Structure 1
Amino acid sequence: MSSGTESTASTSESLDRQAVRTYFGEAYPAVESFAARLRDEGEVRGLIGPRELDRIWDRHILNSAAVVPFLPESGLIADVGSGAGLPGVVVAAMRPRATVYLIEPMERRCAWLAEIVADLGLTNVEIKRGRAEEYHDAFECDIVTSRAVAALDKLARISLPLLRPGGEMIVLKGRNVSKEIDPARKVLRRLKGSQPEVIDASTVPGVESTTVVRIVRQTGAR
């Protein structure tokens, strides 16, 4: 998600810890515990690579948190392909009045998510084991988010049907997402998705900004 132009050491050491605490506010204790679990168990459990351990905060936690300002305080939010819980666990901690569905097909990752949700006391989370497509007729969300799941055309196919008309895809993408927009236009038209809005989202000083893409499921999609 990040271009990774800074070295691991300089990025980690440059974090202003007080700024991080302030950014997360009341969610900080839960997010800090989540970051510690990822650092201690993430590689062993196949959730993150060994070179990511020193960059948990900037590359994963803060990168995930960059999506939160674009989310409502309440409503139903689904995180597609939740994996390690990025961004879904971070979203749940920062949006305690929202209901957050973590959609993940792999059993071992669902087991991890269940542990994290219980340990952090996130009572606003439900884990949905399966592929997003399996839930297209099961519920309608206000927001669908995701991180590092698929190219925009495939992501639109699996995400837009989960949304109520007027709901939004708010997804974390790489810097080159503009190259994915034209190949996705046919799918977006078919599923009544709006023109993608590409947003440069910042979190705290010293951390590279994140690319967020917003797509609205227009009224009349069903």
Structure 2
Amino acid sequence: MVEASDTERDAAERIFGVRLGLAERFVQHLATSGIERGLIGPREVPRLWGRHVLNCAVVAELIADGARVADVGSGAGLPGVTLALARPDLHITLIEPLERRVAWLEEVVMDLDLENVEIMRARAEQAMGRVSCDVVTARAVSALDTLAGLTIPLLAGEGELLAIKGRGAQAELDKAAKVIRRLGGVETTVVVAGADILVEPTTVVRVIVSKR
């Protein structure tokens, strides 16, 4: 069992509520088969709760009720699986091109019985026209100027991109500004999620896309 600190457990209880047990099982998947199959590095085990699961799950507070979410480059289910656990009202499509990662995601989703999740084996550009979504999420996929071209088209002209980033978020956003505007981005901001829950809130680049 990967133990959360007292602070992390308090945060997890607030985020996952009655589904905390499922979140704990997800962390165990990451710490065992996730490492065995190369989805998570062994050095990350002590940081699974704080740096990975909670860091991703708080993004749920930025998403509207009942939204359809496409998670690009899901990999180890971050943030897609954590969002599905925190928000059973959301419909999550995990988009991942690598077969071994897809196989692992399928096993995890089945074990956790996440009825609000579907998995699509595809590159982001291959998913265009195959997925209908209001929100696109991504974490550790690529720099924002490249990521914008992979994610914004999935929104079909209307919705928002939530990209989890680090301290260089504003610099990435400034560099990607022209690309984002060309793709239909009408409003861009750097926001934080989990400010009242986490010691280190999550930095998110938010891009609103509209045809208007």
- Normalising by structure 1, report the TM-score: 0.88
Distance 1:98 1:81, change over 3 A: same
Residue 67 of structure 2 corresponds to residue 67 of structure 1: no
Between the two proteins, the alignment pairs up a number of residues equal to 209
Q: Match for residue 173 of structure 1?
A: 165
Task: Answer with 172-181 or 114-123: which moved more.
Answer: 172-181
Q: Is the 8 A contact 2:15 2:58 kept in 1?
A: no
Q: Match for residue 132 of structure 1?
A: 124
Separation in structure 2 between the aligned mates of residue 207 and residue 45 of structure 1, nearest angstrom = 30
- Measured after TM superposition, the shift of residue 102 of structure 1 is 0.2
Separation in structure 1 between the aligned mates of residue 22 and residue 156 of structure 2, nearest angstrom = 30
Q: Match for residue 207 of structure 2?
A: 215
**Which one of the candidate residues 36, 41, 44 is aligned to 2:33?**
41
Q: Match for residue 163 of structure 1?
A: 155
- Letter matched to residue 126 of structure 1: E
Distance 1:120 1:151, change over 3 A: same
- Measured after TM superposition, the shift of residue 124 of structure 1 is 1.1
Separation in structure 1 between the aligned mates of residue 26 and residue 170 of structure 2, nearest angstrom = 32
Distance 1:20 1:93, change over 3 A: closer
* Cα deviation 1:39-60 (Å, max 9, x = unaligned): 1222211011121011110011
- Letter matched to residue 42 of structure 1: G
- Letter matched to residue 37 of structure 2: R
Q: Match for residue 135 of structure 2?
A: 143
Task: Answer with 64-73 or 105-114: which moved more.
Answer: 64-73
- Sequence identity, in percent? 48
- Measured after TM superposition, the shift of residue 116 of structure 1 is 0.5
Distance 1:19 1:150, change over 3 A: closer
Separation in structure 2 between the aligned mates of residue 159 and residue 195 of structure 1, nearest angstrom = 15
Task: Answer with 39-48 or 85-94: which moved more.
Answer: 39-48
Instruction: Name which structure has the greater RCO, CA cutoff 8 Å, separation 6+.
Output: 1
Q: Match for residue 119 of structure 1?
A: 111
Distance 1:44 1:207, change over 3 A: farther
Task: Answer with 166-175 or 104-113: which moved more.
Answer: 166-175
Runs of 4+ in 1 over 3 A off after TM superposition: 203-207
CA RMSD of aligned residues (A): 1.7
**Which one of the candidate residues 50, 53, 56 is aligned to 1:58?**
50
After superposition, residues 9-48 of structure 1 pair within 5 angstroms as 13=5, 15-48=7-40
Residue 76 of structure 2 corresponds to residue 84 of structure 1: yes
SS at match of 1:46: coil
- Normalising by structure 2, report the TM-score: 0.92
* Contiguous gaps of at least 5 residues in structure 2: none
* Contiguous gaps of at least 5 residues in structure 1: 1-11
Separation in structure 2 between the aligned mates of residue 132 and residue 19 of structure 1, nearest angstrom = 32
